[in-house]
A and B are shown apart, each in its own frame.
Chain A
Amino acid sequence: AQKITQTQPGMFVQEKEAVTLDCTYDTSDPSYGLFWYKQPSSGEMIFLIYQGSYDQQNATEGRYSLNFQKARKSANLVISASQLGDSAMYFCAMREGRGFQKLVFGTGTRLLVSP
């Protein structure tokens, strides 16, 4: 069963606008962590933001924020004031607290920011 689901293969946004990238997850473990990574065309994987299952507040890192809705099992990434350099693939990932903490990823969303 797919643990991480990203339903948007591609998203378009104009520069300076905000955009939300969707991520839903599936786990029965009460302890887990959710991550977002950015992969530009160069191929490197860049860590953006982390949300823990017990965190009371939504995570924020600069222009990135994570809209964490635990009951709905969603962890959407919000990018405010998009920039041309935000054009990239974005991956949602999860680690579960029990056992060996393997890290699993979704299929990704390609974001294109236009001028």
Chain B
Amino acid sequence: DVKVTQSSRYLVKRTGEKVFLECVQDMDHENMFWYRQDPGLGLRLIYFSYDVKMKEKGDIPEGYSVSREKKERFSLILESASTNQTSMYLCASSLTVLEKQAFFGQGTRLTVV
């Protein structure tokens, strides 16, 4: 069974804290993605990675960075958390084959207070 696992289901952090969201996949997928989901805005792509140590900005990268040191792990970093980063964060992975769907983690609901 394919699996994308996000390290936390719920997270509460204080403004200004450095926050790490971890995502691990066991399917040997090349591509990994981080999205945030907000009501009325759908899923917006923050960053994605198509290989180890490779990353590309998505549509809303400001305030975020990522790390991919190993193929199976893709980390999203909030350098200094702010209240407007309170959101649901979804990680996904996929093969580099156009017709293959992405598989999603269960999501992390982050609240910044």
Give chain A's interface residues, CB within 8 Å of chain B. Answer: 6, 9, 31-33, 35, 43-45, 47, 50, 52, 91, 93, 95, 97, 100-108
Contacts and interface: CB of A to CB of B under 8 A. Distances in A.
Contact of A50 (B40, B45, B90, B101): B101
Contact of B40 (A9, A35, A101): A9
Interface in B9-35: 31, 33, 35
B59 interface: yes
Interface of B: 31, 33, 35, 40-45, 48, 50, 56, 58-59, 88, 90, 92, 94, 96, 98-99, 101-104, 106-107
B40 A44 contact: no
A43 B88 contact: yes
- Is chain B's binding surface mostly helix, strand, loop or mixed? strand
Nearest to B88: A43
Given A47-B103, A95-B98, A103-B92, 6 more contacts: A35-B101, A52-B98, A100-B48, A102-B58, A103-B94, A106-B42
Contacts of A93: 43
A61 B88 CA distance: 29
A107 B42 contact: yes
Contacts, number: 62
Contact of B98 (A33, A102, A106): A33
B56 A107 contact: no
Given A9-B40, A43-B106, A107-B40, A101 B56 contact: no
Contacts of A52: 98-99
B43 A105 contact: yes
Nearest to B51: A100
Contacts of B59: 104
A32 B33 contact: no
Contacts of A6: 42
Identify the interface centre among A50, A91, A105: most chain B CB within 10 Å of its CB. A105
